[in-house]
Copies of this chain bind each other. A is one copy, B any other.
Amino acid sequence: MTDMAELPPEPSGWLSDRELNHVRGELPLLYINAVPVRINPHGELTHVGLLLRADDDGMISRAIVAGRVLYHETIRDALLRNLEKDLGPVALPRLPLNPTPFCIAEYFPTRGISKYYDSRQHAVALAYVVPVDGDCEPSQNALDIAWFTPEEAASEDIAAEMMGGQESLLKQALAHCGVLP
Contacts and interface: CB of A to CB of B under 8 A. Distances in A.
Interface in A47-65: none
Interface stretch (A3-11, A106-114, A134-142): A106-114
A17 interface: no
Given A30-B28, A175-B171, A175-B172, A39 B72 contact: no
Interface of A is mostly: loop
Nearest to A39: B97
Given A95-B43, A104-B99, A74 B27 contact: no
Given A27-B15, A103-B100, A171-B180, A76 B129 contact: no
A102 B104 contact: no
Interface string A66-87: 0001111111100010000000
B42 A80 contact: yes
Contacts of A126: 104
Nearest to A126: B104
A99 B178 contact: yes
Contacts of A29: 27
A149 interface: no
B19 A26 contact: yes
Contact of A27 (B71, B75, B98, B177): B71
Contacts of A42: 76, 80, 95
Can you list the 7 inter-chain pairs with the closest CB atoms, starting with the nearest?
A43-B95, A175-B175, A172-B175, A99-B178, A15-B26, A28-B30, A14-B26
